[in-house]
Amino acid sequence: MGAASRFVLAGYFQPSVGTLIVNVLGSILLGFLMYNSRYPGYVLPRMKMFFGIGFLGSFTTFSAFSVQTFQMPANVALLNILGNTMLTLAGVFVGRAAVIYLAYLKESASYMASVFLTLTRHYSSYMAPGIMGATILFFPVMGGITGLGSQIVRVVSSVQHPGLLYQVPSLVSERYLPGHL
């Protein structure tokens, strides 16, 4: 499956460009799979082996890169070697960063949901789902990406995370959570 996918994808480009695209894409996916073990929950261990060794092992290609580089003029070959090496290494870092970012969003959304479950006890039940949904979608993005209006608070009586420090939007303050800060 991996080699067939490589053949189809690389067929849309010039040979060396197609090989570069396939290798960079494979490096991004491999970086995601390999770092998934540090931030579990996205890929099952058996699927990690299947995709990492099986699919991506045949999807990426060092042999085609080597042959194509050998067939190029010396100055172009050097650029091809440097470009492939740098971009595939960058691809692994991009895959790793994606796993870390997804783990952050998952933890942030889970925490914000628990905070706003506490808040929704003060509102009528028909408002609770809307407040929860807005919290999960809006506040991790605002606090995590832009950093607007965020502060460090200690949530002592939280059921899921007792006594831990978390970065949450400044909207969650003592006037909204009396006795919880």
Binding residues for Na(+): 57, 60
CA-closest candidate to residue 84, choices 54, 105, 107, 63: 63
**CA-CA distance, 164 to 57, in Å (whole number)?**
42
- The whole-angstrom separation of Cα 50 and Cα 59 is 12
Tell me how far apart the alpha carbons of residues 40 and 13 are, in angstroms, rounded to a whole number.
35
> How far is Cα 127 from Cα 88, in angstroms, rounded to an integer?
48
Q: Which residue has the tokens 């040979």?
A: 15
3-state SS assignment for residue 166 = strand
| Among 60, 61, 29, CA closest to 47 | 29
Residues of each annotated binding site: 57, 60
Q: Which of 61, 150, 85 is nearest to 112 (CA)?
A: 150
